[in-house]
């Protein structure tokens, strides 16, 4: 039961990160290795604000906005000039991730830091006692994901995004500007990752290398679910989320080995079913 | 990105109809003086520089030249960007270290051969499943293999020492071949009385310096001959358009796998040699950071040209290990800023000059535009063609 409830909460937060990653790939064909950095920027910005004595809610909003802004800057300054060179984008975004890591380490050092919880105390769900911050994180993440999915499927804006994802040239013909859509999607994806960073900051720890795990997990989810498939992403998030908690609870030193399990999942998927659960056939 | 890049191929049959120039000629054409002068300058450098700390760091940089060049023959040429090159380097280094620890009777030369073999085998094992993968998929697969090897060293902690690594590896001085090369060249360059006035540590530095130099010149020279010859052209064609290459009769599997294994074997040799130069191995030889640094070096210098990453390695590694520390205290107090600085530089280079800094520079120096396209990095330009 422990694993089930915790797994569900973790899945929701992981899905928040993976959703943005998947959208950016689906829409812009961009594999953004700096996606995990948005998660980190969100967490650290919220932390920096709360250090100055700002109310927690304000800090949280600042965290999300900072991540969004970082997304816009990344798109404008780095990705746009080299957008159609897949390998260059990979290398450049990885370089950005390292740059951010180096900057965070410079300003905050390598020590672990933590944000105070938005709520404190514990709550019992289905006989499982949980920290309230975790529950809050899971619920906020869930609501956000549902909102994003609704926007994507039910609104004209969402239709525009899906049009670009399906066929960039054709969408241009009907009056959509793919460049603009890519920018928006990257900014929103960055904001979602930043939100995930803010939400987990009270119970996770902030370190300069915290970008790596969400990035690998997002990557694993997107590969598992199929690149560019939104339902696949959500489904795979649940799988990876439960796996994450299962390993953390049942394996010795599980917390450290979570990353390894993720990697194993990726490799197995790549060998057995390269297009993922629900993905289109890999190019 | 629909235009084909065939125009950039160095295949221009403009040599008066006398057929294809020999690889050696093509190699030297960009700028014979620079390419021949580099090894000679490096060889005689210790005669004029008696700063042993600097010489030691140059030896380390020379090892990194081999890392970068071996990465380039796979990733720069075929466009299969390997994000986990440290896996091969670490395999070579740990093979040498484990042999030295458990089978001290095995000679250093044999240990190096074993390192080459082990790394080549790993290259084959990884290469086969990776044949179908491209771009981000390949990046992640290779990255995770290196990560898995790090975990393996923890699982076999008693043998590999885990985080502490293995110390007391037999060094270049203990190897008869390496010591002969090192001492011979030291006497040639520094004069016959070389080691009489030097302490053991200095001797070790000079031997390391010359041994790494010899290995590097042989490896980089070999890779360049290969890369600038017909085979290099074939490898490049795989990057530009795999389907077209296959349609033109290129045995794709053989070439891709061959490049994978060759790249792995060279990295294994360099890694093994690094273990013998340092006398220790540790996790930094398998870590993601090393793989990333190699990509930074190669993309910075100009991937797909061998010489670009080679020169890039000297610039980046010497800056990182020597000059930046002496330039400002900021880097001494905050070593993490170094890699950040390189990352920033790389981003700028990728945007402003996607071919890296060395190939365009060579082109300018030789003053011959089109002929030097052979040295032009096409990885970044060519890798982007969207279907």
Confidence grade of residue A108 (pLDDT, cut at 50, 70, 90) = confident
- Among A26, A96, A98, A106, the residue to mutate for chain B (most B Cβ within 10 A): A98
**pLDDT tens sequence across A130-170:** 777 778 888 888 899 889 888 888 888 888 888 888 888 88
**pLDDT tens sequence across B58-81:** 999 999 999 999 999 998 888 888
Q: Which two tokens stand for residue B154?
A: 């923890």
Q: Verify whether the Cβ–Cβ distance A98 to B144 is below 8 Å.
A: no
Residues of B in contact with A168 (CB under 8 A): none
pLDDT at B118: 95
Q: Verify whether the Cβ–Cβ distance B81 to A90 is below 8 Å.
A: yes
- What mean pLDDT comes out for the span A197-211? 83
Q: Which two tokens stand for residue B315?
A: 């610039």
- What mean pLDDT comes out for the span B230-252? 83
Residues of B in contact with A85 (CB under 8 A): 354, 380-381, 383-384
Q: Verify whether the Cβ–Cβ distance A102 to B347 is below 8 Å.
A: no
Kindly state whether A123 is in contact with chain B, defined as any CB-CB distance less than 8 angstroms.
Answer: no
CB atoms within 10 A of CB B117: 15
**pLDDT tens sequence across A31-63:** 888 999 999 999 999 988 888 887 888 888 999
Q: Verify whether the Cβ–Cβ distance A96 to B137 is below 8 Å.
A: no
- Among A35, A87, A103, A251, the residue to mutate for chain B (most B Cβ within 10 A): A87
Q: What is the mean pLDDT of chain A?
A: 81
B344 lies in some domain:
no
What's the Rg (C-alpha) of chain B? 21
* CA A72 – CA A190 distance, rounded (Å): 8
pLDDT at B199: 61
Q: Which residue of B has its CA nearest to A219?
A: B140
Q: Verify whether the Cβ–Cβ distance A99 to B344 is below 8 Å.
A: yes
- Among B140, B155, B329, B344, the residue to mutate for chain A (most A Cβ within 10 A): B140
B54 lies in some domain:
yes
Confidence grade of residue B382 (pLDDT, cut at 50, 70, 90) = very low
A279 near A225, Cβ under 8 Å? yes
- What mean pLDDT comes out for the span B258-266? 94
Kindly state whether A251 is in contact with chain B, defined as any CB-CB distance less than 8 angstroms.
Answer: no
pLDDT above 50: residue B17:
no
Confidence grade of residue A253 (pLDDT, cut at 50, 70, 90) = low
* CA B248 – CA B262 distance, rounded (Å): 23
Q: Verify whether the Cβ–Cβ distance B148 to A283 is below 8 Å.
A: no
pLDDT above 80: residue B375:
no
Which residue of B144, B384, B386 is in closest CB contact with A88?
B384
Q: Verify whether the Cβ–Cβ distance A85 to B354 is below 8 Å.
A: yes
Kindly list the distances between the CA atom of residue B299 and the CA atoms of A162, B71, B312, in Å, as whole numbers in the listed order.
Answer: 34, 11, 8
Kindly list the distances between the CA atom of residue A157 and the CA atoms of A76, A150, A177, in Å, as whole numbers in the listed order.
Answer: 21, 11, 12
Confidence grade of residue B384 (pLDDT, cut at 50, 70, 90) = very low
pLDDT at B123: 92
* CA B335 – CA B333 distance, rounded (Å): 6
Q: Which two tokens stand for residue A38?
A: 């948005």
B324 lies in some domain:
no
pLDDT above 60: residue B376:
no
Kindly state whether A221 is in contact with chain B, defined as any CB-CB distance less than 8 angstroms.
Answer: no
Q: Which of A39-53, A201-215, A257-271, B157-171 has the lowest mean pLDDT?
A: A257-271
Kindly state whether A281 is in contact with chain B, defined as any CB-CB distance less than 8 angstroms.
Answer: no
Cβ contacts of residue B116 below 8 Å, gap of 6+?
Answer: B92, B265, B268, B269, B272
Helix residue ranges per DSSP H, chain A = 2-28, 35-51, 56-73, 86-108, 132-154, 156-166, 168-173, 178-200, 212-225, 230-250, 254-272
Kindly list the distances between the CA atom of residue B246 and the CA atoms of A22, A119, B30, B208, in Å, as whole numbers in the listed order.
Answer: 32, 61, 29, 44
B342 CA: distance to closest CA in chain A (Å): 8
* CA A100 – CA A117 distance, rounded (Å): 25
B352 lies in some domain:
no
Residues of B in contact with A99 (CB under 8 A): 340, 343-344, 347
B237 near B57, Cβ under 8 Å? no
Q: Verify whether the Cβ–Cβ distance A78 to B347 is below 8 Å.
A: yes
**pLDDT tens sequence across B285-344:** 888 888 888 998 988 888 888 888 888 899 889 888 887 777 777 777 777 788 888 888
A72 CA: distance to closest CA in chain B (Å): 16
Residue A64: closest CA among A99, A22, A20: A20
Q: Quote the number of domains for chain B.
A: 1
pLDDT at A213: 80
**pLDDT tens sequence across B21-57:** 565 565 555 555 667 778 888 888 888 887 888 888 9
Of the CA atoms within 13 Å of residue A196, those in its CB half-sphere come to 33
Where does residue A107 rank: exposed (0-12), middle (13-18), buried (19+ CB within 10 A)?
A: exposed
- Give counts: helices (H), strands (E), chain B: 19, 0
* CA A221 – CA A21 distance, rounded (Å): 10
pLDDT at B374: 41
3-state secondary structure of A123: strand
Q: Which two tokens stand for residue A257?
A: 């080995």
A87 CA: distance to closest CA in chain B (Å): 6
Cβ contacts of residue B326 below 8 Å, gap of 6+?
Answer: none
Q: Which residue of B has its CA nearest to A268?
A: B141
Where does residue A37 rank: exposed (0-12), middle (13-18), buried (19+ CB within 10 A)?
A: buried
Which residue of B139, B288, B350 is in closest CB contact with A92?
B350
Domain of B58, in residue numbers:
37-286
| Calculated CA dihedral for residues B244, B250, B253, B257, nearest 10 degrees | -110
Residue B307: closest CA among B72, B40, B21: B72
Which residue of A78, A85, A106 is in closest CB contact with B383?
A85
Cβ contacts of residue B33 below 8 Å, gap of 6+?
Answer: none
Which residue of B339, B351, B386 is in closest CB contact with A82?
B351
**pLDDT tens sequence across B127-152:** 887 777 777 778 877 877 887 788 78
B119 lies in some domain:
yes
The helix or strand, by DSSP H or E, that contains position A130, with its residue range, turns out to be strand A128-131
A19 CA: distance to closest CA in chain B (Å): 17
Kindly state whether A204 is in contact with chain B, defined as any CB-CB distance less than 8 angstroms.
Answer: no
At which residue do the structure tokens 């110390």 appear?
A: B167
What's the Rg (C-alpha) of chain A? 18
B interface residues, A as partner, C-beta within 8 Å = 1, 79, 81, 83, 129, 132-133, 135-137, 139-141, 144-145, 147-148, 151, 288, 292, 295-296, 299, 334, 336-337, 339-341, 343-344, 346-347, 350-351, 354, 379-381, 383-384, 386-387
């Amino acid at each position: 039961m422990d694993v089930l409830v915790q797994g569900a909460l973790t899945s929701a937060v992981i899905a928040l990160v993976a959703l943005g990653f998947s959208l950016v790939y689906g829409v812009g064909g961009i594999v953004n290795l700096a996606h995990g950095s948005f998660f980190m920027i969100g967490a650290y910005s919220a932390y920096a604000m709360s250090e100055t004595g700002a109310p927690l809610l304000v800090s949280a909003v600042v965290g999300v906005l900072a991540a969004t802004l970082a997304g816009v800057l990344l798109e404008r300054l780095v990705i746009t000039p080299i957008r159609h060179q897949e390998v260059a984008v990979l290398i450049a975004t990885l370089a950005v991730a390292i740059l951010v890591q180096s900057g965070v380490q410079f300003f905050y050092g390598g020590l672990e830091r933590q944000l105070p919880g938005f709520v404190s105390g514990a709550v019992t769900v289905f006989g499982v006692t949980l920290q309230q911050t975790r529950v809050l994180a899971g619920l906020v993440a869930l609501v956000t994901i549902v909102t994003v999915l609704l926007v994507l499927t039910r609104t004209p804006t969402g239709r525009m995004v899906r049009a670009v994802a399906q066929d960039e040239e054709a969408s241009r013909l009907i009056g959509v500007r793919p460049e603009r859509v890519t920018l928006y999607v990257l900014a929103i994806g960055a904001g979602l990752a930043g939100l995930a960073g803010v939400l987990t900051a009270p119970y996770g720890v902030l370190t300069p290398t915290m970008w790596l795990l969400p990035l690998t997990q997002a990557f694993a989810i997107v590969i598992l679910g199929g690149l560019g498939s939104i339902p696949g992403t959500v489904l795979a998030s649940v799988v990876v989320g439960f796996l994450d908690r299962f390993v953390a609870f049942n394996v010795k030193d599980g917390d450290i080995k979570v990353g390894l399990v993720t990697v194993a999942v990726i490799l197995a998927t790549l060998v057995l079913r390269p297009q993922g659960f629900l993905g289109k056939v890999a190019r | 990105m629909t235009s084909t890049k065939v125009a950039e191929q160095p295949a221009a049959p403009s040599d008066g109809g006398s057929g294809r120039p020999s690889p050696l000629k093509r190699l030297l054409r960009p700028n014979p003086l620079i390419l021949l002068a580099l090894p000679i300058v490096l060889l005689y450098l210790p005669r004029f520089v008696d700063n042993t700390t600097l010489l030691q760091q140059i030896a380390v940089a020379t090892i990194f030249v081999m890392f970068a060049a071996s990465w380039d023959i796979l990733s720069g040429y075929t466009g299969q960007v390997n994000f986990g090159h440290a896996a091969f380097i670490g395999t070579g280094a740990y093979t040498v270290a484990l042999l030295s620890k458990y089978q001290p009777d095995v000679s250093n030369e044999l240990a190096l051969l074993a390192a080459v073999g082990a790394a080549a085998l790993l290259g084959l094992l990884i290469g086969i499943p990776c044949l179908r993968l491209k771009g981000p998929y390949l990046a992640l697969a290779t990255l995770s293999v290196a990560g898995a090897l790090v975990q393996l060293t923890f699982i076999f902690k008693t043998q590999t020492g885990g985080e502490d690594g293995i110390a007391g590896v037999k060094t270049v001085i203990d190897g008869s071949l390496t010591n002969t090369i090192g001492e011979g060249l030291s006497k040639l360059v520094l004069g016959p009385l070389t080691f009489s006035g030097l302490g053991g540590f200095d001797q070790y530095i000079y031997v390391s310096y010359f041994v790494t130099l010899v290995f590097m010149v042989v490896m980089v020279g070999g890779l360049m001959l290969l890369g600038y010859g017909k085979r290099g052209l074939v490898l490049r064609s795989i990057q530009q358009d795999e389907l077209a290459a296959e349609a033109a009769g290129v045995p794709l599997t053989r070439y891709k796998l061959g490049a994978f294994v060759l790249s792995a074997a060279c990295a294994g040799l360099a890694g093994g040699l690094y273990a013998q130069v340092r006398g220790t191995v540790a996790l930094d030889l398998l870590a993601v950071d090393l793989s990333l640094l190699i990509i930074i070096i190669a993309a910075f210098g100009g991937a797909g040209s061998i010489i670009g990453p080679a020169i890039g390695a000297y610039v980046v590694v010497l800056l990182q290990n020597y000059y930046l520390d002496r330039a400002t205290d900021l880097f001494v107090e905050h070593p993490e800023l170094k890699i950040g600085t390189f990352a920033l530089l790389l981003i700028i280079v990728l945007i402003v000059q996607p071919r890296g800094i060395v190939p365009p520079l060579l082109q300018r120096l030789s003053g011959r535009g089109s002929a030097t396209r052979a040295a032009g990095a096409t990885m970044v330009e060519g890798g982007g063609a969207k279907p």
